[in-house]
Amino acid sequence: MLLFATIGILGFAILLVSLLFGHDQDHDFSGTDHDALSDGDGGPSIFSMKMLAIAMVGFGVTGFGVIAGTDWTMLVASLFGMGGAAVMGLIGFTIIKSVWRQQASSTITRADIIGAMGRLIDAIPAGGVGQIACSVRGREDTYMARTKDGHTIPLGSTVRIVDKVGQHVIVEEA
């Protein structure tokens, strides 16, 4: 019974320290900022410290409840504890993931830019560079632009961004 209580209390202490002192940058066990088994979008990982602590609480509380409330063996209590850890982990992951999705970013990525429509505010001369103005993610921005094949596009033309290379966008007439 003491073992389950200790595991549950230790997991709760980790969560409490995380809440009080911040613990926003979870790391997996490799010591880098890669989280295994996340959904690839930079979201929370099932192997993060928060998830481990939540699973410890679930294991400890469930195992303690089974041992204290029944005459079942430690093995049975441990199996129930693993079930409790899985349920608490799923609940915790769902909550953490929903909070994570609420985050916003003003960073404009290459994927955001490609396909955007713009207007030339400086003509693109043959083999040269011009400038376009376009709205990306609700923000009006300007970019240095050139064409893929180096042909001229006159001032005021509507263009579509087809690629981004360094600080320049590659455009084509729309």
Whose CA is closest to 117, among 166, 158, 169, 167?
A: 158
Place 42 in a pLDDT band, splitting at 50, 70 and 90.
low
* Stretch 3-7: mean pLDDT: 95
CATH number at 128 reads 2.40.50.140
Query: Is residue 95 domain-shared with residue 121, that is, in the same domain?
Result: no
Query: Is residue 91 domain-shared with residue 165, that is, in the same domain?
Result: no
Cβ neighbors of 38 (< 8 A, separation 6 or more) are 44, 45, 46
Which residue range(s) make up the domain with 160?
110-173
Query: Is residue 9 domain-shared with residue 48, that is, in the same domain?
Result: yes
Residue 15, pLDDT > 70, answer: yes
**How many domains does the chain fold into?**
2
Query: Is residue 61 domain-shared with residue 147, that is, in the same domain?
Result: no
Query: Is residue 48 domain-shared with residue 91, that is, in the same domain?
Result: yes
Query: Is residue 80 domain-shared with residue 156, that is, in the same domain?
Result: no
pLDDT tens, position by position, 46-93: 888 889 999 999 999 999 999 999 999 999 999 999 999 999 999 999
Is the pTM higher than 0.85? The answer reads no
Query: Is residue 70 domain-shared with residue 122, that is, in the same domain?
Result: no
What's the gap between Cα 147 and its chain centre? 34
Name the domain boundary from 62, 77, 101.
101
Average pLDDT along the chain: 87
Name the domain boundary from 101, 118, 144.
101
Per-residue pLDDT at 30: 44
* Stretch 17-25: mean pLDDT: 75
